Amino acid sequence: MQFETTSPRVAPSLTSKGAHFAVYGPLQFRADAGTERDIVYIVDDDIRLREALSELIGSLGRTAITFGTAAEYLATNLADSPSCLILDMLLPDMSGLDLQHRLAHENCPPIIFISGRVDIPATVRAMKAGAVEFLAKPVCPDALETAIQTALTEDRERRRRRSELNLLQTRFESLTPREREVLPLVARGLLNKQAAAALGIANVTLQVHRSQVMRKMAASSFAELVRMAERLGIPASV
């Protein structure tokens, strides 16, 4: 079954789970008692389609937040929750591709494009720029649900990697200036005496610094320390 943009509501089969919504201005939320939910942002100037998409997303146990323009979306502080963005290719204030480009260097949720017409070059550009999916209107609920699940999984992984990197950065910042000099030498695989000579310090002093680096970075092995250095972008060179 598919959404039709001429209908103000989704088909009854898509609301069989009895989803309930509270509607506040342009935003539509599934009413619930305070538990964190995945968020699906929707940017489309067709209010009836936004309502239909919101109802489907709510029936899947997720929160839908809708916007009629790109400007509305850009003016919103996004919640710190797993999320994705359903984005219409043709908006009244800018194209979906322009918005995707503008968000490219931010922590943008994974994007699912929807469009009323098939534009192969635009589709290719969107996918090359990292879009999860490109769906033609009227949107097939099953295809959209699959795309949303893929996008949310991708966002959870992105958030996990970002959290791990932030933790590594915090650990790195706890190192003393000398320990920060020792880390790339150790990651390069230099022997203690070689690293000590490179820094002009005693071998025993180098061993103390190396031990502190391992402890503060919470590295259980040399191989793990090397991986940490790589993730932090620390060059393994003198």
Written in H, E and C, the secondary structure of 122-184 is: HHHHHHHCCCCEEEECCCCHHHHHHHHHHHHHHHHHHHHHHHHHHHHHHHHHCCCHHHHHHHH
Per-residue pLDDT of the chain (238 residues; tens, 9 = 90+): 334 433 333 333 333 233 322 222 233 333 333 346 899 999 999 999 999 999 999 998 899 999 999 999 999 998 999 999 999 999 999 999 999 999 988 788 999 999 987 777 888 888 888 899 999 999 999 999 999 999 999 999 999 999 999 999 999 999 999 999 999 999 999 999 999 999 999 999 999 999 999 999 999 999 999 999 999 998 755 4
Across the strands, what pairs with 30?
21
- Which parts of 25-89 are beta strand (E)? 27-30, 39-43, 63-67, 83-88
Residue 27 CA: distances (Å) to CA of 20, 41, 236: 14, 10, 49
Contacts of 101 (CB under 8 A, 6+ apart): 129
Would you state the pLDDT for residue 74? Answer: 94
Between CA 122 and CA 124 the distance in angstroms is 5
Helix (H, G, I), strand (E, B) or coil at 223: helix
Between CA 222 and CA 228 the distance in angstroms is 10
Between CA 51 and CA 172 the distance in angstroms is 47
Which residue segments constitute the domains of the chain, with CATH numbers given? 12-165 (3.40.50.2300), 174-231 (1.10.10.10)
Helix (H, G, I), strand (E, B) or coil at 97: helix
Would you state the pLDDT for residue 123? Answer: 85
Would you state the pLDDT for residue 107? Answer: 80
